[in-house]
Structure 1
Amino acid sequence: MVQAMNEDTARFARTPLGGSGISVRPVGLGLMGMSQFYGAADPEASVTTIQEAIDLGVELFDTSDYYGAGSAVPGSPVAGFGHNEELLGRALRGRRDRAVVATKFSARPSAEGGSFFDGRPEYVRAACEASLKRLGTDRIDLYYYHRLDPAVPVEDTVGAMAGLVAEGKVRAIGLSEVTPEILRRAHAVHPVAALQSEYSLWERGIEAEVLPECRRLGVTLVPYSPLGRGMLTGTLRRSAEFGTEDFRSTLPKFQGDNFEHNLRLVDALEEFAASTGDAPGQIALAWLLAQPHDVVPIPGARRLARVVQNLEATSVRLSADDVARLGALFDPARVRGGRYGALHTVARDTRA
């Protein structure tokens, strides 16, 4: 059972971000859903939630210049490129020194309605300057290369990021969704503090090769969607319907028979959580925090109650047997459906 939180509990322990010298409390806050992908959100309520999260002790806040520019599916409403950074910037007024700001560059909307990735050194600098302005700050604590540009060697892009570190505009750099080879090549140019990839009880694709390379290089893992896009919270029911503004309406894991099957796995997670007196989502986060590596999950949340519940996961104690049992319950062979569907193919860069 989770104990009442106080200054001595595990949520105030710190996790280093690689060798950057930056450390954070072990559960951050992902902000993407405040701008897109999961239906409409109230900007004023979002700013308030971020501020209250800071006051609770959350430190790592994850955004991107792209959040707000892309739609969950064609035709769904969007808030605009940079919207999410602007929200965070508003929330940080008077609180900047209490937050570790992580943002990203490279994803850009194309004129044809899709997206492309831009890793050109000149764009790295321009994107950083624009993000600094939207965030209302003079430095970005952790700057991620959001997705690789296939037309630009990663060494060139990371070299430009290293230049921003040298100038004091960025404190540490990160990558997102890359292979071990790309991680090694980038790390050889400038130390990579963090790798952001999808990782949770029900999405384990990075375990075989990527995680071992992170451990070898001393790169902290920052899992996004650590609660399986809401599935591992136990709040979704078989009658759930995802509107066209909801990203999950396009994802194979949430479709038809796959959804029904995967909910049966969650039923077992709920039973486990009931036996310990914790919430299913807290168990899912505790499983991540029990992995033999520096991990800082960034669950998304729009409401303060969910932020509090996620923070309390740091007080959940799982035995080695518990960790193994949960891992077996969500063995990748038992989870049905791929990560993404056909709608999520990124358009190729058409730049001259």
Structure 2
Amino acid sequence: MEYRKLGNSDLELSVITFGAWAAGGWMWGGTERKDAVKAIIESYHQGVTSIDTAPIYGQGTSEEIVGEAIKDIRRDKVQIVTKYGMRWDLAKGDFGFSSKNNQGQPIDIYKYAGRESIIKECEDSLRRLGTDYIDLYQIHWPDSTTPIQETMETVAQLIKEGKVRYAGVCNYNAAQMQEAEKYISLVSNQVPYSMVKRDIEKELIPYCLEHTKSILAYSPLERGLLTGKMKPGYTFEAGDHRAGLYFFTDENIKRTNDALDKMRPIAEDKGITLSQLVLRWTLQQPGITIALAGARNAEQAVQNAKAGSVELTAEEVALISSYVAEIKLVK
């Protein structure tokens, strides 16, 4: 496994970081708790020392699963990455969307990052995770109703108190990062990035490269689309959010698979899976520090982890990139 430092900090994460959204079951058609715990433990044995979670994932379930999985691991051997700023139990801030919890009950999600909410969320996360500090604490989504100054000064206070080591953001643009930097030193931004979603290359990646900020790429396998395992006509489980996304229309699955088929010989030559090839290509893109990869069972977790020790030559990256450029999805 390869490890990389975030920004100018001494916080080092495994390049493949375990993404625990699906582990929480919410919006993924449910989860089997014991399988999720085992997936995290097995990935740790493969060198994946960092785990990304959030309170909203299963409304606390994902953080509880992470806490259960790491309880027998020495705390300084793992890096816990979690978030704040999405409330399902408080109608305040920017309304996000309506959803259903894991019990099928309707909930409304709000993006809210006010001072008192962050302090409460941090305490709740520490309790669920079974720890007394969080390695990287990130705002989950921008909140237009709360000044960035208030949000970031609150996290700075949590750092002073020793409850948080480093501050990051998620889904911020370059201007929002610049504003946040007036009040706190950010080490990273967690944003979506994949072979079929590359819009951050225009502005955000250049900004992060210039200011030595790391990018944690989420959904690098585009929620399963880039595994090559999906075929036109794929049926999702009830409650799976992917069913309504344009990425997963039959036509777009076909277009993506056509490009993946061209990459397949490269993967076969290296003795790796297509998913591992896609993850490694992502990690070798300019500005991308970490790739988050989710898994709901140990087998998936082990396969993802192995991408952390693959190496692609510059020629291989260029060839893969030429195939990536051919993918034109239909919105």
In the other structure, the counterpart of 1:180 is 174
Percent of aligned positions with the same letter in both sequences?
A: 31
Report the CA distance shift for 1:257/1:237 in structure 2 as closer, same or farther (over 3 A).
closer
Counterpart among 319, 326, 336 of residue 329 in structure 2: 336
Q: What's the Cα RMSD here?
A: 1.8
In the other structure, the counterpart of 1:151 is 145
Equivalent residues in 2 for 1:133-148, closer than 5 Å: 133-148=127-142
Tell me how far apart the structure 2 counterparts of residues 24 and 132 of structure 1 sit (CA, whole Å): 20
Equivalent residues in 2 for 1:27-66, closer than 5 Å: 27-35=16-24, 36-66=26-56
- Structure 1 residue 87 and structure 2 residue 68: aligned? no
Q: CA deviation at 1:337?
A: 4.3
Equivalent residues in 2 for 1:1-352, closer than 5 Å: 11=1, 13-35=2-24, 36-68=26-58, 81-95=59-73, 96-109=75-88, 113-293=107-287, 295-331=289-325, 334-337=327-330
Amino acid at match of 1:47: V
In the other structure, the counterpart of 2:102 is none
SS of the residue corresponding to residue 187 of structure 2 reads strand
Q: CA deviation at 1:272?
A: 3.4
In the other structure, the counterpart of 2:101 is none
- Off by >3 Å, runs of 4+ in structure 1: 110-113
**Mean alpha-carbon deviation: is it higher for 50-59 or for 277-286?**
50-59
Asked if 2 retains the 8 angstrom alpha-carbon contact of 1:20 and 1:171, the reply is no
Q: CA deviation at 1:262?
A: 2.5
Tell me how far apart the structure 2 counterparts of residues 210 and 236 of structure 1 sit (CA, whole Å): 30
Tell me how far apart the structure 1 counterparts of residues 270 and 3 of structure 2 sit (CA, whole Å): 25
SS of the residue corresponding to residue 144 of structure 1 reads strand
Q: CA deviation at 1:91?
A: 1.3
Report the CA distance shift for 1:264/1:294 in structure 2 as closer, same or farther (over 3 A).
closer
Structure 1: unaligned runs, 5 residues or longer: 1-10, 69-80, 339-352
Structure 2: unaligned runs, 5 residues or longer: 92-97, 99-106
Equivalenced residues, count: 314
Report the CA distance shift for 1:335/1:22 in structure 2 as closer, same or farther (over 3 A).
same
Q: Deviations over 1:293-312 (max 9, x none)?
A: 35111100122222222222
TM-score (norm 1): 0.84
SS of the residue corresponding to residue 299 of structure 1 reads strand
TM-score (norm 2): 0.89
Asked if 1 retains the 8 angstrom alpha-carbon contact of 2:233 and 2:250, the reply is no
Asked if 2 retains the 8 angstrom alpha-carbon contact of 1:16 and 1:294, the reply is no
Amino acid at match of 2:284: A
Tell me how far apart the structure 1 counterparts of residues 43 and 312 of structure 2 sit (CA, whole Å): 25
SS of the residue corresponding to residue 19 of structure 1 reads coil
Q: CA deviation at 1:321?
A: 2.4
Tell me how far apart the structure 1 counterparts of residues 232 and 268 of structure 2 sit (CA, whole Å): 20
In the other structure, the counterpart of 1:346 is none
Amino acid at match of 2:270: T
Q: Deviations over 1:163-182 (max 9, x none)?
A: 10111000001111111000
Report the CA distance shift for 1:202/1:269 in structure 2 as closer, same or farther (over 3 A).
farther
SS of the residue corresponding to residue 291 of structure 2 reads coil
Q: Deviations over 1:283-340 (max 9, x none)?
A: 1111122123351111001222222222222332222222122223222x733145xx
